[in-house]
Amino acid sequence: AALVGWAGLRPRNDVSAGKVKGRKTLHGNKYLRKILIQCAWGASRTKSSGFSKRFNALRKRMNHNKALMANARKLLVVIYNILAKRQPYLAKAA
């Protein structure tokens, strides 16, 4: 959670008296965020990729930019787990 926040991929959720004050992801490392979004875009455009399937599923119920941010966050979590556990990435079979 801290890494996702540091990368600037955690959406803000400021709610007061039932009113949503803001949802933009402005805090964090803007360079890392841009690179992760570009990588997520490439991963979502790759056919038969798990990220592509996830992007298309999210795209049905939200804006494509929000789906792309969700994919970038998931990509960062996958990268972190690969580096932390020192194991190769095994994509889930669909």
- Looking at residue 12, what is its pLDDT? 64
Query: How many CA within 13 A on the CB side of residue 63?
Result: 3
As a whole number, mean pLDDT of residues 41-69 equals: 91
What average pLDDT score do residues 76-86 get? 90
- Contact in structure between 8 and 81 (CB atoms under 8 Å): no
* Rounded percentage of the chain residues whose pLDDT exceeds 70: 85
Whether pLDDT at 55 is above 60: yes
Q: Which residue has the higher pLDDT, 90 or 41?
A: 41
- The secondary structure of residue 2, as a DSSP letter, is H
What local confidence, expressed as pLDDT, does residue 3 receive?
81
pTM above 0.75, yes or no: yes
Q: How far apart are CA 3 and CA 28, in angstroms?
A: 10
Reported as a pLDDT band with limits 50, 70 and 90, residue 13 is low
